[in-house]
Amino acid sequence: MPSSLQDLLAALVRIDSINPSLVPGAAGEAELATFIATWLHNHGIEATVDEAAPGRLSVIATVRGTGGGRSLLLNAHLDTVGTEHMPLALDPVVRDGRMYGRGTYDMKGGLAACLFALLDARDAHLRGDVILAAVADEEHASLGMQSVLKSVRADAAIVTEPTSLQLCVAHKGFIWHEVTTHGRAAHGSRPDLGRDAIAHMGRVLGRLESLQRELDAREPHPLLGHASVHASLITGGQELSSYPERCTLQVERRTLPGETRAGAEQEWAELLGELALDPDFHAEHRITLLREPFGISHKAEIVQVLREQASEILGTAPDHIGQTFWMDAAFLAGAGIPTVVFGPHGAGAHATEEWVDLESVQHCRAVLSATLRAFCA
């Protein structure tokens, strides 16, 4: 079994954990979860496997405290995106202080730092519990995190997604909408009989442009900027010489902390309600998926403790940042667990070249361990 942080990271990268919900037939997280549970057991750390769905395994590990201290949860995800056009994706290469390979940055570097921080917690004899949730399916539907949260609670949490050793205290959420406009099928030569569902969808698209202008005019979030909306996918029509009976549009709305499902539903009710004043316009709307935005106060204790420890180890105070992409941090915060995001430096998430800075992984481990000692003592 690998005994150094770099060797462990390389071993994690070599194990295929591509999310099968993204790439049909892909390996999934089972082999990696089994490897991690075995590695932890070999180091005297309690670990169990949680199966959110068949073959979709997460690992829950606990370093038990002596009693009376606060608990802290470390989180990383096991799954990666695909490796198309990456012939050496699972053969990690170290060059100029960087490790290249799928998952090095997103986010097996953070995972390796968590695992070694658990070893440090084991040897520190803390009063509070230290928990690791290494979860499946973050890249798709977060089945792993949702399942783990049915049985795991903590006084605070650190998500180790890559942040270049800065403190992420906010990220955007998203809502997926589906809109269908209805027309009347007829021969293309009979406009008197037909009604064009695609043309009616054009009115919806025009309203989306107006909505984006409205969002741009609102006060921006200090770390995340403006909310956004865009048309993602559209289908419609039967054939070239027919009036289209139906058109379906899928829309993504990126949300800011404070924006709610109720607000999104009202936004669409107003948008479509104005169009429905035309008796020939018929449309249906539904929300197909919602993921909440995330935000935590700079003054929250876990944020302050982590910043203090990072400042001591790094020699400079890390910045507070926001991320535009969604993370499992929102689920942890939604479960009432104060959460902050802190991870290593690198680049190439979901890209054909991905790397993590190895020194930053070491620094991440050191900061996590110092934070555990301060928070759980």
> How confident is the prediction along the chain (377 residues), in pLDDT tens digits per residue?
788 999 999 999 999 999 999 999 999 999 999 999 999 999 999 999 999 999 999 999 999 999 999 999 999 999 999 999 999 999 999 999 999 999 999 999 999 999 999 999 999 999 999 999 999 999 999 999 999 999 999 999 999 999 999 999 999 999 999 999 999 999 999 999 999 999 999 999 999 999 999 999 999 999 999 999 999 999 999 999 999 999 999 999 999 999 999 999 999 999 999 999 999 999 999 999 999 999 999 999 999 999 999 999 999 999 999 999 999 999 999 999 999 999 999 999 999 999 999 999 999 999 999 999 999 99
Could you tell me the CA-to-CA distances from 324 to 94, 169, 224, 225 in Å, in that order?
29, 11, 6, 9
Task: Determine the Cα angle at 362 with ends 356 and 364, to 5°.
Answer: 85
Q: Give the separation between CA 356 and CA 348, rounded to whole angstroms.
A: 9
Quote the pTM value: 0.94
Please report the pLDDT score of residue 343 as a whole number: 98
Question: To the nearest whole percent, how much of the chain has pLDDT over 70?
Answer: 100
Domains of the chain with CATH codes: 5-171+294-376 (3.40.630.10), 173-291 (3.30.70.360)
CA 250 to chain centre: 20
Check: CB of residue 232 under 8 Å from CB of residue 251.
yes
Please report the pLDDT score of residue 3 as a whole number: 86
Cα atoms in the Cβ-side hemisphere of radius 13 Å centred on 90: 13
Full DSSP string of 326-350: --THHHHHHTT--EEE----EE-TT
In 3-state terms, what secondary structure has residue 322?
A: strand
